[in-house]
Amino acid sequence: MPEDQRKILMNVFSKLNAQVLVKWANETMPNLPKNVKLSKWLPQQDVLGHPKIKLFITHCGGGGLEESVFHGVPIIGMPFWGDQFLNVETAKRLGFGLEFDWNELTEENLASVINEALSNPK
């Protein structure tokens, strides 16, 4: 991930009034916000099944989408290829997901879609 995109993500996450879990290749990162925890691996089923989970930001692969539906966790889908685009369209149509275009990544755009997802009663 380019450094400028990583910084955007971390800046937005740092402003959330929530703990954020991030799957990351390393367990360290420069200027890691205090509310962000990194892990090389996360037990996705267990995380999504936790009662305090409010949102899942995903590329919208079939497995993660199915697991988020099973656990009733809303998603923000950032599809990159293949069936991910159809999956996020389905999530939007059924009302449990929003789409975010990675090519439109700015702090304002990302913060807006996260806030929309967290405040939408659906």
Q: Where are the domains of the chain?
A: 57-122
Cα 88 to Cα 77: distance, rounded to the nearest angstrom: 6
Report the candidate in 82, 80, 76, 67 with the shortest Cα–Cα distance to residue 96.
Answer: 76
> What's the confidence (pLDDT) of residue 1?
82
Domain 57-122 has CATH 3.40.50.2300: no
pLDDT tier for residue 13 given thresholds of 50, 70 and 90: very high
Residue-wise pLDDT for 27-85, tens only, equals 889 999 999 999 999 999 999 999 999 999 999 999 999 999 999 999 999 999 999 99
Using one digit for the tens of pLDDT, what is the confidence trace for 42-53? 999 999 999 999
pTM of the model: 0.92
Is residue 25 within 8 Å of residue 40, measured between CB atoms?
Answer: yes
Question: Please, what is the Cα angle at 49 between 48 and 53, to 5 degrees?
Answer: 55
